[in-house]
Amino acid sequence: MTKYTNDHEFVREDGDVYVVGISKHAAEQLGDVVFVELPEIGKSFSKGDDMAVVESVKAASDVYAPISGEIVAANAAIVDEPAKVNEDPEGSAWFVKIKASDPAELDALMDEAAYTAFTVES
Amino acid sequence: MTAGAAAVKAAAVMGHMLMADALRTTPLHALHQRLGAKMAPFAGYDMPVQYRLGVLKEHLHTREKAGLFDVSHMGQAFLTTTEVEKGADGAHEKIADAIETLVPGEIRKLKRGGMRYSVLLNDAGGIVDDLMITRAAMAEGDGVLFLVVNAACKENDYRLIEETLEGRARLDPLDDRALLALQGPAAAGVLNAMIPGVADQKFMSMRPLEWDGAFVLVSRCGYTGEDGFEISIEAKNAERFAEALLAHPDVAPIGLGARDSLRLEAGLCLYGHDLTPETTPVEGNIAFAIGKRRRTEGGFPGASIIQRQLGDGPQRLRVGLEPEGRAPAREGTEILSTDGAAIGRVTSGGFGPTCEGPVAMGYVDASHAATGGEVHLVVRGKTLPARVVDMPFTPHRYFRG
């Protein structure tokens, strides 16, 4: 099941780690992505820390860690070809994989229905 | 993520709520909405930031074919001499002498229908606005200049011009006219099919013409680095004129987002960012706008300061910057020398879709302004190497006959 933050990151369970990226809605709002900066593997973040950067032609945005944990993978394909983020944001254009230090943090995040309602409201 | 884009959107939404009454619209507002534009407040107007293509494709479309821009928010005005009869012998010299007390440009030598990029100055030689000044095309229009100024500056500009030129000239803002820009390699062919003859019109010239019964002022100029035109047309005819242009398969509507990335790649200044009341035309690296005669004669605000800078060189200079790698350096980014000393700031920066990489311009201490020099940019706390480069970043492709 995919969960979402107020800041438009998604988190999806994938075996014993979590796949993290930006939502389809966020990618649409950003417009054409031209630059992505990802954290190094092995780095640890607390929930809410600046973790990555995504920039479109229009603006730069921080991407926050949606859960606490250690980076175990970073998607080099989107660094090489940032436009992939617009093509498949919640699929092949994931940002990082995180080994969660407190999986219970996911309970506080929105499910897809709640997130959709949230994006319509805002 | 903190969507910067979401922040832009939120600002736009708040703009609507807080300024619903104050926000002005252009004669093409309904058309923008029909075309699916994302609208946002800009200089007091509700303007299209992008259409369905998005900023990147709109930018590339303009460089490959032709883009249609609504620039009706800009101020259009006629400035007419009151010292002699319009059309009389010497009427042009009268109005030229008057406006030359405010700008450093060579206006006297403009031929009928000729136009110049210039700047309004304050007493310190700082730039109050940049503008286009065009001499009327017909002999009977001698003594009249057509001015196009920035939207955000127009009230101030008009007040400055009226107060300074009281008793010499009358300013008539043309609030009932729209201004459209058609830019790109296909622009001449497209417009020539609607208004025969414009394809041969000289760069930086204006002609009064007719389209389908509507009186239009067609200028061969623009702000993208491409060949193109700006067309002034009465508000009531603007929408059908825009729709006739858009009916051509090579023409797409282009928003302010791509207008900004196009002018940045072309090395052109955005007033309020790259040029301000604190920068002179010499520092701003637009000294070409200072006429040769005027460099010695002076007679414009801040002349002694500007003449000294022309002689001795300015303390700081606007330069092009090419960051290594892919990270864009945005406005406000600090510029350091390679040994870590603060030497300036980026005033415009982003991703150049045609350059396929980051491009920026900013002010640096004159000792670091030489082409090819290495500098450092502080982006999100990290130091990124960049090189001082000549502008434009993409070659200008103006019509040279």
CA-CA-CA-CA dihedral for B18, B19, B20, B25, to nearest 10 = -150
Walk me through the domains of chain A, giving residue ranges and CATH numbers: 2-103 (2.40.50.100)
B13, pLDDT greater than 60: no
Select from A33, A8, A109 the least CA-distant residue to A67.
Answer: A109
Q: Is the dihedral of CA B109, B113, B117, B122 positive or negative?
A: positive
Confidence at B17, pLDDT banded by 50, 70, 90: very low
Task: Inform me whether the C-beta atom of residue B350 falls under 8 Å from chain A C-beta atoms.
Answer: yes
DSSP string, A50-95: EEEEEEESS-EEEEE-SS-EEEEEE-HHHHH-TTHHHH-TTTTT--
CA distance B129 to chain A (A): 25
- Specify whether the CB–CB gap between B195 and B211 falls below 8 A: yes
Select from B260, B382, B373, B262 the least CA-distant residue to B321.
Answer: B373
Q: What is the mean pLDDT of residues B365-390?
A: 97
In the chain, the amino acid numbered B184 is: G
Confidence at A17, pLDDT banded by 50, 70, 90: very high
Q: What is the mean pLDDT of residues B224-252?
A: 98
Task: Inform me whether the C-beta atom of residue A53 falls under 8 Å from chain B C-beta atoms.
Answer: yes
In the chain, the amino acid numbered B259 is: R
Q: Higher pLDDT residue, A1 or A9?
A: A9
Report chain A's mean pLDDT, rounded to a whole number: 96
Residues within 8 A of B (CB atoms), A 75-104 only: 82
- Please give the DSSP secondary-structure letter assigned to residue A40: P
CA distance A16 to chain B (A): 24
CATH number given to B315-401:
2.40.30.110
pLDDT of residue B1: 65
Confidence at B10, pLDDT banded by 50, 70, 90: very low
Q: What is the mean pLDDT of residues B274-282?
A: 98
Contacts of B2 in chain A (CB under 8 A): 7, 61-62, 64
Considering CB atoms only, which of B1, B54, B358 is closest to A63? B1
Q: Higher pLDDT residue, A53 or B13?
A: A53
Q: What is the percent of chain B where pLDDT is above 90?
A: 94
The pLDDT tens digits for B289-346 are 999 999 999 999 999 999 999 999 999 999 999 999 999 999 999 999 999 999 999 9
pLDDT of residue B9: 40
Sequence-ordered list of residues with C-beta below 8 angstroms from that of A79, at least 6 positions apart, any chain: A36, A37, A38
B8 and A59 within 8 Å at the Cβ level: the answer is yes
Contacts of B350 in chain A (CB under 8 A): 57
The pLDDT tens digits for B108-164 are 999 999 999 999 999 999 999 999 999 999 999 999 999 999 999 999 999 999 999
Task: Inform me whether the C-beta atom of residue B47 falls under 8 Å from chain A C-beta atoms.
Answer: no
Least confident segment among B5-14, B270-279, B286-295: B5-14
Crossing angle of the two packed helices B256-265 and B55-64, in degrees rounded to 10: 60
B238 phi/psi in degrees, rounded to 5: -65, -45
Considering CB atoms only, which of A7, A37, A122 is closest to B1? A7
Q: ipTM, 2 decimals?
A: 0.86
Report chain B's mean pLDDT, rounded to a whole number: 95
Beta strands in B257-341 (DSSP E): 316-323, 334-336
Q: Which residue of A has its CA nearest to B327?
A: A35
- What is the helix (H) or strand (E) element at residue B170, kind and residue range? strand B169-173
B245, pLDDT greater than 70: yes
B257 and A61 within 8 Å at the Cβ level: the answer is no
Q: Within 10 A of B99 (CB to CB), how many other CB atoms are there?
A: 25
Q: Which residue of A has its CA nearest to B380?
A: A53
Domain B4-71+177-265: which topology? Answer: Gyrase A; domain 2 (3.30.1360)
In the chain, the amino acid numbered B126 is: G
Range list for CATH 2.40.30.110 in chain B: 315-401
- Specify whether the CB–CB gap between B87 and B272 falls below 8 A: no
pLDDT of residue A105: 96
Q: What is the mean pLDDT of residues B369-389?
A: 97
pLDDT of residue B21: 57
The pLDDT tens digits for B81-109 are 999 999 999 999 999 999 999 999 999 99
Strand bridging mode B316-323 / B334-336 = unpaired
State the Cα–Cα distance between residues B93 and B247, nearest whole angstrom.
Answer: 43
CA angle at B8 for the pair B318 and B350, rounded to the nearest 5°: 30
Q: Helix, strand, coil proportions of chain A in percent (round to 5)?
A: 25, 40, 35
Task: Inform me whether the C-beta atom of residue B305 falls under 8 Å from chain A C-beta atoms.
Answer: no
State the Cα–Cα distance between residues B392 and B286, nearest whole angstrom.
Answer: 13
Range list for CATH 3.30.1360.120 in chain B: 4-71+177-265
A62 and B328 within 8 Å at the Cβ level: the answer is no
- Specify whether the CB–CB gap between B217 and B231 falls below 8 A: yes
B2, pLDDT greater than 80: no
pLDDT of residue A58: 83
Task: Inform me whether the C-beta atom of residue B4 falls under 8 Å from chain A C-beta atoms.
Answer: yes
Task: Inform me whether the C-beta atom of residue B57 falls under 8 Å from chain A C-beta atoms.
Answer: yes
